[in-house]
């Protein structure tokens, strides 16, 4: 029986915006790690492909995929109808949703009803940005500041540059721990969203591999191991 060596396997370039712990972040040695990264690597191992991880701005991921600079988006990306027009998504691999956060010493805002005239920071191109702009258009928020990286979004909140942050709950929770309680979450989830891996529109071969691999790692316990490592 012949074994396929690692060198013979195809390599797919995975694009991610790594300020999104625990899904994707940079470790002390500068390497991009996280739940999404381990999961797509495990899927590649199951399906016989290698992955090379590349840092791409969140709002540049879909253009990078469409132009062929990357092959897969693994970036906590929510499956939306709008994005489905431009890319093909895998089956959902995890659920999350948006939450509103404020600085811990903010006693002014304790629910969605307190957002009138307030300012928000969000990540450029995210579903949080879409939600914030919706609230601004409805005359609720007075200003929305958009930043490329989520750590900058959180710093803006901590430094008092804005009143609230609208961002995915598990990620905000992760920053809450990192920032030693300088951030608090004011209410339950605003939305319920599912994350998917994305491939170029029509790239059925790769999409099938990702979906088959996802199903296999879910069935053989690998998915649970990865989840236990990043969500404890």
132 or 214, CB closer to ligand ARG? 132
Half-sphere exposure of 56 (CA within 13 A, CB side): 25
| Binding positions for ligand ARG, 105-124, rule CB under 6 A | 123
> CA nearest 144: which of 204, 33, 153?
153
21 binds ligand ARG (CB under 6 A): no
Could you say whether residue 150 binds ligand ARG (CB under 6 A)? yes
Segment near ligand ARG (CB under 6 A), from 74-82, 101-109, 172-180, 181-189? 74-82
* 130-139 b/e (C-beta count within 10 Å ≥ 16 → b): bbbbebeeee
Residue 76 within binding range of ligand ARG, rule CB under 6 A:
yes
Site for ligand ARG contains 20 (CB under 6 A): yes
What is the smallest separation between the CB atom of 20 and ligand ARG, expressed in angstroms? 3
Q: How far apart are CA 180 and CA 115, in angstroms?
A: 25
Report how far apart, in Å, the C-alpha atoms of 159 and of each of 2, 102, 154, 174 are: 59, 11, 9, 18
The secondary structure element, H or E, covering residue 195 is: strand 193-195
Nearer to ligand ARG, 170 or 213 (CB): 170
Please provide residue 131's backbone torsions phi and psi, each rounded to the nearest 5 degrees: -65, -45
Distance between CA 47 and CA 38 in Å, rounded?
Answer: 14
Stretch that binds ligand ARG, among 76-84, 103-111, 134-142, 209-217 (CB under 6 A): 76-84
Site for ligand ARG in 32-71 (CB under 6 A): 58
State the nearest-atom distance from the C-beta of 133 to ligand ARG, in Å.
Answer: 12
> Rounded CA gap, 109 and 116, in Å?
10
126 contacts ligand ARG (rule: CB under 6 A): yes
Residues binding ligand ARG (CB under 6 A): 16-17, 19-20, 24, 58, 75-78, 123, 126-127, 150, 168, 193
């Amino acid at each position: 029986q012949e074994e396929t060596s690692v060198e013979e396997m195809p390599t797919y370039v995975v694009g991610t915006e790594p300020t999104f712990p625990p899904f994707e972040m940079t470790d002390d040695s500068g390497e991009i790690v996280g739940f999404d990264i381990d999961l797509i690597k495990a899927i590649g191992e199951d399906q016989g492909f290698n992955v090379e991880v590349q840092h791409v701005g969140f709002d540049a991921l879909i253009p990078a995929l469409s132009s062929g600079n990357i092959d897969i988006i693994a970036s906590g990306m929510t499956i939306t109808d709008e994005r489905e027009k431009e890319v093909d998504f895998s089956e959902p691999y995890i659920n999350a949703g948006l939450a509103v956060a404020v600085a811990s010493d903010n006693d002014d805002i304790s629910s969605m009803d307190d957002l009138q005239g307030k300012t928000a920071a969000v990540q450029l191109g995210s579903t949080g940005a879409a939600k914030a702009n919706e609230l601004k258009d409805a005359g609720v928020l007075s200003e929305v500041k958009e930043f490329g990286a989520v750590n900058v979004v959180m710093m803006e909140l901590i430094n008092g540059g804005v009143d609230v942050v609208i961002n995915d709950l598990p990620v905000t929770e992760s920053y809450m721990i990192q920032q030693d309680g300088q951030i608090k979450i004011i209410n339950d989830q605003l939305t319920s969203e599912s994350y998917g891996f994305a491939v170029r529109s029509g790239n059925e071969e790769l999409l099938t591999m990702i979906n088959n691999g996802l199903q296999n790692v879910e069935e053989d316990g690998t998915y649970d191991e990865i989840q236990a490592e990043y969500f404890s």
